[in-house]
Structure 1
Amino acid sequence: MSAPRAIALAAAVFALSACATVAPEDASDAPMTYSCGAGKRFVASYALDGRIVRVTAGGQTTILRQVKTKKGDPIFAAGGVTLSTKGAMADLDGAPAGPYRNCRTG
C-alpha cells in the first residue's frame, strides 16, 4: 500500500470513529438535584429518550429503567430501587439512606 493511500485510509478510520453514537444511558440531560423532606437530597440524570435515569443517592449510583404504569406518571426501577415522578415532584425508595419523600427539583 502506498504512503498516500495509507494516510487516506487512516484519516477515514479516524473520521468514522469520531462519528460513533453515544449509548442512550450515556447521553443525558443536565443532572437534576431533588431536595426532600428531612434534609435529604439525590441527583437524577435522565437519558434524552426519557426511558433511563441515573440516580445518585446515599453515595451510590444506580441506573434505572422506565417501567409501564397504569396512571401514566413515570416510574423507574432496577435492583430494588424505585423512582416515581410527577412533574417536579419525586419519591425514591430502596436507595441508601432512604427513603426519599416529598422531593422537589430546583
Structure 2
Amino acid sequence: MRAALVLVGLLALGGCASVMPEDATDAPMTYACAGGKRFTAAYALKGDKARVTAGGTSYSLPHVRSGSGARYARAGVELFTKGDGALLNGAAGGPYRDCRTG
C-alpha cells in the first residue's frame, strides 16, 4: 500500500513539473547588428510577446500583426524578425539594423 501511495505522489508531482508559468520564455537570443551593436530578445513560449534588452533598457513588446515574419511593438519600440534576421527601432542605443543571431 505504501509503495502505491509513493507512486501516486510521484506521478502527481511529475504532472506539475510540466506546467509552465504564463510568462515563460525561450532562452534569450543575442543579435549582432551593423556597427557592432547588439541586443537580446527572449520570446514567450506562447508567441504573444518578446522581452527585448537593448542599450541597457528592457522592453516587453506584444506580438502585433505582420505581413511576413514576426513583429512585436509598443510605444514606439518595434522588433521585426524573419528567419535569423532582425531589425529593432525605437530602443535605447538604436536603431539596430542588419541584425543576425549567431
Q: TM-score range by the shorter chain?
A: 0.7 to 0.9
- 1:21: Cα distance to partner? 5.4
- Distance in 2, matches of 1:86 and 1:99, equals 17
Q: Confirm whether residue 22 of structure 1 aligns to residue 18 of structure 2.
A: no
Matches for 1:84-103 after TM superposition, within 5 Å: 84-103=80-99
Unaligned residue ranges in structure 1 (runs of 5+): 1-14
- Distance in 1, matches of 2:65 and 2:53, equals 22
Matches for 1:29-44 after TM superposition, within 5 Å: 29-44=26-41
Unaligned residue ranges in structure 2 (runs of 5+): 1-12
Give the 3 Å change call, closer, same or farther, for CA 99–48 of structure 1 in structure 2.
same
**Aligned Cα RMSD in Å?**
1.6
Q: Residue 22 of structure 1 aligns to which amino acid in structure 2?
A: P
Q: Confirm whether residue 104 of structure 1 aligns to residue 78 of structure 2.
A: no
TM-score by length of 2: 0.78
Task: Give every structure 1 segment of 4 or more consecutive aligned residues whose post-TM-superposition deviation is greater than 6 Å.
Answer: none
